[in-house]
């Protein structure tokens, strides 16, 4: 038992580097805050409020001036990022995962651009297939670690699926990496410092043509698996079709990772997937929708509505004029802006008939769409060991969502390890999850068998 939990020296060094990065990040951000926070106007009239009232409003909504600085930096992406790279060509490769184009990229951990991870970055566009069975172009970033690999066997490739970024094209993780505004930077740096090569998909429609199909189970699974295929085609040393692969992600990324793990046997059987770390997965969107209705994170409902609308479910016309205004704004916003704009707004004041958003989820067409996005349905399950990590005090994705997914997979014979994180809140647990993820991967790639939690679930 001790062998599976003890941290090797390489992980201690990674943790130390990660802690140092956090400290430098917080220190380096201060000048940016002073310059940008005062000029940020994330909500109507916000910038005109006295500073004390601004601070009070931010505190009520669980945000900080750090968040405003990040949002301000995101706005600059529209003019600073080469949009030509993200344009879909007239013809796509014949096979899923086929690389359309690639180019060297940059990756910073902070918007002041002081901290660069120990890896080379390559931006890629590759072919995938969406839930409508249409070929689409999507993008991502491949990070080749410069750290030594000292574990048994070849250096693995880890596909990290990002948590919720937003719906606007400027929110795409590959665009944000160059600006130092990707909040997944700490997870990516931890993986890189531990010696893993990493590929981080942007998801379908996030940065590229078309709407971002937020939390669409099939689209996210395909984008993740095809990102692995794309990375393996770049000709990088040690990254090819035989490379062992692990999948990790938290929140939206946890859902994408879970969907990819259970889709891999049929969609990408050649990918050498060895394990998956699934953090706070929104495996049941109806349950999550009820949890966030009229809460600090109620704006995320507009993201799900946008994906449903893209799939042919009429949702927008069920909102009143104010609801439609907020819906339209959310479809081109990043996460912080959406949270700040729509936090704690009673959803029954935004619908045409006075029902809450949760009550709208019971409408037949929308209910059917959401049920199709459920992860862990009969007949779908991973063929590899999986760790599900979730905090009981999650204020965004209810703990029962992760636990029920574990129970379903256990019933299908999957080796599932269920870890209950100790840190309160969704965001807090995401930080606790980073060292948990690194220890988990270290054990799997050292060949230590996973102990199942299914007996107690």
pLDDT digits (tens, 9 = 90+) for 280-331: 999 999 999 888 888 888 889 999 999 999 999 999 999 999 999 999 999 9
**Confidence check: pLDDT of 30 > 50:** no
pLDDT score for 69: 63
Please tell me which of 9-13, 91-95, 178-182 the model is most confident about, judged by mean pLDDT: 91-95
**Confidence check: pLDDT of 137 > 60:** yes
Rounded to two decimals, the pTM is 0.83
Mean pLDDT of the 21-49 span: 42
Q: Are 360 and 308 in contact (CB under 8 A)?
A: no
Cα gap 419→437, rounded to integer Å: 11
Mean pLDDT of the 3-23 span: 36
Q: Are 340 and 43 in contact (CB under 8 A)?
A: yes
pLDDT score for 84: 82
pLDDT score for 73: 53
pLDDT score for 294: 83
**φ, ψ dihedrals at 53, nearest 5°:** -75, -35
Cα gap 128→204, rounded to integer Å: 8
Lowest mean pLDDT among 7-11, 194-198, 418-422, 429-433: 7-11
Q: Are 417 and 409 in contact (CB under 8 A)?
A: no
pLDDT digits (tens, 9 = 90+) for 419-437: 999 999 999 999 999 999 9
Residue 326: name the closest of 353, 358, 294 by CA: 294
Mean pLDDT of the 377-394 span: 95
The H or E element spanning position 440 is helix 426-445
Cα dihedral 359, 361, 367, 373 sign? negative
Contacts of 336 (CB under 8 A, 6+ apart): 42, 63, 67, 68, 70, 71, 74
Q: Are 280 and 250 in contact (CB under 8 A)?
A: yes
More confident residue, 205 or 43: 205
Band of the pLDDT at 75, cuts 50, 70, 90?
A: low
Pairing state between β 273-279 and 119-129: unpaired
pLDDT score for 83: 59
Task: Please state, as a whole number, how many other Cβ atoms lie within 10 Å of the Cβ of residue 427.
Answer: 16
pLDDT digits (tens, 9 = 90+) for 216-252: 999 999 999 999 999 999 999 999 999 999 999 999 9
Q: DSSP per residue over 6-41, as a string?
A: PPPHHHHHHHHHHHHHHHHHHHHHHHHHHHHTTT--
User: Percent of the chain, pLDDT > 70?
Assistant: 85
**Confidence check: pLDDT of 81 > 90:** no
Lowest mean pLDDT among 10-24, 61-75, 167-181, 425-439: 10-24
Residue 195: name the closest of 140, 230, 246 by CA: 246
Q: DSSP per residue over 43-99, as a string?
A: STTGGGS-HHHHHHHHHHTT--HHHHHHHHHHHHHHHHS-GGGGSPPSS--SSTT-E
Band of the pLDDT at 122, cuts 50, 70, 90?
A: very high
Q: Are 73 and 32 in contact (CB under 8 A)?
A: yes
């Amino acid at each position: 038992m001790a062998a599976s939990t003890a941290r090797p020296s390489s992980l201690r060094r990674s943790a130390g580097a990660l802690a140092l990065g956090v400290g430098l990040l917080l220190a380096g951000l201060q000048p940016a805050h002073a310059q940008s926070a005062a000029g940020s106007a994330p909500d109507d009239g916000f910038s005109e409020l006295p500073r004390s009232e601004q601070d009070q409003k931010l505190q009520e909504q669980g945000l900080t001036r750090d968040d405003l600085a990040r949002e301000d930096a995101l706005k600059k992406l529209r003019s600073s990022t080469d949009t030509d790279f993200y344009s879909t060509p007239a013809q796509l490769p014949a096979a899923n995962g086929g690389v359309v184009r690639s180019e060297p990229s940059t990756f910073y951990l902070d918007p002041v651009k002081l901290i660069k991870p120990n890896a080379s970055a390559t931006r890629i566009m590759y072919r995938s297939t969406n839930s409508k069975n249409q070929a689409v172009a999507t993008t991502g970033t491949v990070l080749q670690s410069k750290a030594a690999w000292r574990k048994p066997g070849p250096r693995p490739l880890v596909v990290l699926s990002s948590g919720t970024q937003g719906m606007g094209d400027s929110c795409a993780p590959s665009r944000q990496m160059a600006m130092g505004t990707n909040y997944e930077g700490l997870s990516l740096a931890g993986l890189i410092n531990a010696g893993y090569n990493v590929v981080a998909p942007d998801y379908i429609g996030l940065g590229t043509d078309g709407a971002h199909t937020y939390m669409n189970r099939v689209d996210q699974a395909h984008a993740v698996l095809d990102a692995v295929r794309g990375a393996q085609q770049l000709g990088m040393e040690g990254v090819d079709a035989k490379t062992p692969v692990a999948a990790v992600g938290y929140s939206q990324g946890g859902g994408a990772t879970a969907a990819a793990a259970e889709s891999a046997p049929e969609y990408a059987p050649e990918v050498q997937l060895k394990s998956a770390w699934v953090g706070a997965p929104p495996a049941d969107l109806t349950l999550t929708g009820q949890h966030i209705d009229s809460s600090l994170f109620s704006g995320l409902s507009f993201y799900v509505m946008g994906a449903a609308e893209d799939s042919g479910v009429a949702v927008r016309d069920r909102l009143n004029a104010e609801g439609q205004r907020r819906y339209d704004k959310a479809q081109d916003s990043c996460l912080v802006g959406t949270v700040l704009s729509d936090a704690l707004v009673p959803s029954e004041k935004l619908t045409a008939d006075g029902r809450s958003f949760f009550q709208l989820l019971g409408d037949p067409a929308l209910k059917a769409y959401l049920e199709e996005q459920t992860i862990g349905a009969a007949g779908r399950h991973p063929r590899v060991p999986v760790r599900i990590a979730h905090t009981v005090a999650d204020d965004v994705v209810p703990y029962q969502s992760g636990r029920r997914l574990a129970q379903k997979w256990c019933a299908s014979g999957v080796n599932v390890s269920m870890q209950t994180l100790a840190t309160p809140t969704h965001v807090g647990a995401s930080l606790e999850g980073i060292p948990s993820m690194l220890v988990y991967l270290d054990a799997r790639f050292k060949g230590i068998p996973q102990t199942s939690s299914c007996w107690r679930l």
